Amino acid sequence: MKRRNKFDHNDVVILIHTGEKVTINKSCYVAKMKKYTYTIKENPKMFYFEEEMKEMI
């Protein structure tokens, strides 16, 4: 099965808007929007879309 989401649980990524390094807590697919959302450990009440994050180099 091909993986469609970009990030996994415990991946460290950078929020594009702030430049902050964060850790992915969980992901969820939103069928109506056809996008994945992610919550982060540092602020579990917020969620972000894939295009708001980038991988660590």
Q: Which long-range contacts (CB under 8 A, 24 or more apart) does 31-34 make?
A: none
> What is the domain count for the chain?
1
The reported pLDDT for the residue numbered 3 is: 62
Question: Is residue 7 included in any domain, yes or no?
Answer: no
Question: Is residue 55 included in any domain, yes or no?
Answer: no
- Indicate the pLDDT class of residue 2, thresholds 50, 70 and 90: low
Question: Is residue 46 included in any domain, yes or no?
Answer: yes
Greatest CA separation for the chain: 34
3-state secondary structure of 52: helix
Query: Hey, what are 17's tokens?
Result: 């808007």
Look up the pTM and report it.
0.86
Distance CA 4, CA 36 (A): 9
In terms of Cα–Cα distance, which of 4, 13, 19, 18 is closest to 41? 13
Average pLDDT rounded to a whole number, residues 25-46: 95
Question: Is residue 43 included in any domain, yes or no?
Answer: yes
Domain that holds residue 43: 12-50
